[in-house]
Amino acid sequence: MMYPVIRKLQHKRVVLASASPRRQEILSQAGLRFEVVPSRFKEKLNKASFPTPHAYAIETAKQKALDVARRIHQKDLRAPDIIIGADTIVTIEGLILEKPVDKQDAYQMLSRLNGKEHSVFTGVAIVHCFSQDGQLDVEISQFYEETVVIFSQLSEELLWEYIHSGEPMDKAGGYGIQALGGMLVESIHGDFLNVVGFPLNHFCKKLAELYFAPGAVGLQRVKHDSIPAVDTFENLSEEEGAGLDRRGSQAQGTQDARHARTAESLPPFPTGLLELIAGFQASKALFTACKLKVFDLLQREAPLKAVDIASKIDTSERGTRRLLDVCVALGLLEKTERGYSNSDLATLYLLSDGEFSLRGFIELNDEHTWAAFTHLESAIQEGSSRDHQAVGDEAEGLLQDSCPGRDARLCFMRAKHGLAKLTARQVATALDLSRFSSACHLGGCTGALAHELAREYPRLKVTVFDLPEVIEHVTCFQPSGPQTEQVSFVPGDFFKDSLPEADLYVLSGILRDWPDEKVHRLLSRISGSCKPGGGLLVAEVALDEDPRAARPGLLRSLSRLLQTQGKERSLAKSRQLLQLHGFTDVQVAHTGDVLNMVLATRPAT
């Protein structure tokens, strides 16, 4: 947490009036807990009426926040404690550049910036809300941050290549410094995060002024029976706030004290708990959007209006619009006057043919895990999933050797492939494996990890050993490149058939699927096939003594209870199992919060 002042907000209901995933990420990483309610304020202020570009950015940010305050107050009859509004613009030679409307507009913007110095301004409004007797009372603190950016001298070919990537279309000034657009920038002077979309350092300093200073500075207090409609906001002026009572007068002090007592008498607003209660709704919205191929459509044709999307995916306009707006709130889509388009997150992970696509994992959760969790209560009561009745039987089949059909098997393989692509690099590089010349990945499925091992160790020959019904479908998952010659596939059952010879055996996410009896049996077979000095590399979801730190692994342990006879094991338990089967030298590496890596070797003599 960058500033202690962030802790001052942990028991307040904070709303971010922006759908920008970049702003959400910056504030989340600072430790701020907040809701996202995108503003509907139409950014149509007359730029020529503002004395400076930053004045325009500040006013736009304020109107965004006030729009959200009005809507929440009208809907809930109770406003949140704080609403944060922000607006980022790019200026050069007095001209304000916002988001390009099309590729030609993006080219004109980038050509204007090419080889020159420009400024990025972000205006921020912090709106404190009070509701009493049906009235909404707001205090507004506002500021701006400027960062100077210098572009390199770029060729027209490079500019168009960047434009065709699609990145400029939702970025002020037509570029995103945090992604591919960073290659266009020669230098910056000032706050980098301000260019990304939110000046975190200045924001924290402003909060410190408001919460720690002897008297709050720079606040405007505005009272409304209800906040006026958006169309009237353009008529608000600085004079309106200047003539109102300021904090510090005797009357104002009495009212502030009343607000403080009221806030202290109420329990903290349970934002996180409410999000947890309704969390399944967000998951189902994501699953549905993927099933309807919304993200694939927008990758080809964005931006599109809701009515056009509904026509193309054969759904109702009313339902489609609601689904799309939820996806905007979740950071999966972005919305402008021209229509909806994919966010960076969706482009990276939610396209059917993306390199790091998680669509298979989403499909598995939607069609199998979701149904399995309807049996959670009985599984908790009985300690198992009633011998994997109904959905449980099918789910176990996906994970074991009784896949109920080609479609279900391919669903499972796509899920494993997507997850393996995310973690394969970490698994391959967490420990030094250069002394091994051959490896066998038991239960290696599509070979995603095998190919990453081959890329990292050009001398390593890797065999993927999995069930025949899995191996017959691996062709469509194979990459191109010289490393493919290092990887081979052998069908077989690692409980029944002879294991391929190798210096190193690999188990990734396998041991957790089996009860102790079968784990001992598998480790005994590996130990018997392993040569002196040979090794076993084990990658499993990390567990931790602190349940809060072990959340991903613990949630998967519930899935194991419902879908298999397996269980999650602690690092200490895994070490004991390996040593029991002759793997005396055990090295451990942690890859963030996701996986524990264990390399266990047999004595050389």
Q: Are 87 and 55 in contact (CB under 8 A)?
A: no
Q: Are 531 and 499 in contact (CB under 8 A)?
A: no
Burial class (CB in 10 A: 0-12, 13-18, 19+), 552: middle
Whether residue 303 is preceded by a cis peptide bond, meaning omega within 30 degrees of 0, is yes
DSSP character for 249?
B
Q: Which residues pair with 340 in a beta bridge?
A: 304, 335
Annotated catalytic residue 407:
no
Instruction: Kindly report the backbone phi and psi dihedral angles of residue 63, in degrees, each rounded to the nearest multiple of 5, phi listed first.
Output: -65, -35
| Contacts by 367-376, CB closer than 8 A, 24 or more apart | 367/411, 368/394, 368/395, 368/398, 368/408, 368/411, 368/563, 369/395, 369/559, 369/563, 370/283, 370/284, 370/287, 372/559, 372/562, 372/563, 373/558, 373/559, 373/562, 375/562, 376/558, 376/562
Residue 414 CB neighbour total at 10 angstroms: 24
Q: Which residues pair with 142 in a beta bridge?
A: 125
Cβ neighbors of 577 (< 8 A, separation 6 or more) are 511, 519, 520, 523, 569
> How far apart are the C-alpha atoms of 39 and 337, rounded to whole Å?
13
* Tally of CA atoms within 13 A in the half-sphere of 573 that contains its CB: 14
> How far apart are the C-alpha atoms of 500 and 484, rounded to whole Å?
18
158: its two tokens:
């490079």
Instruction: Kindly report the backbone phi and psi dihedral angles of residue 466, in degrees, each rounded to the nearest multiple of 5, phi listed first.
Output: -150, 175
DSSP states of 298-330 as a string?
Answer: HHHH-SB-HHHHHHHHT--HHHHHHHHHHHHHT
Q: Of 87, 170, 191, 466, which residue is the catalytic one?
A: 87
What's the gap between Cα 453 and its chain centre?
27
What is the set of active-site residues?
Answer: 87
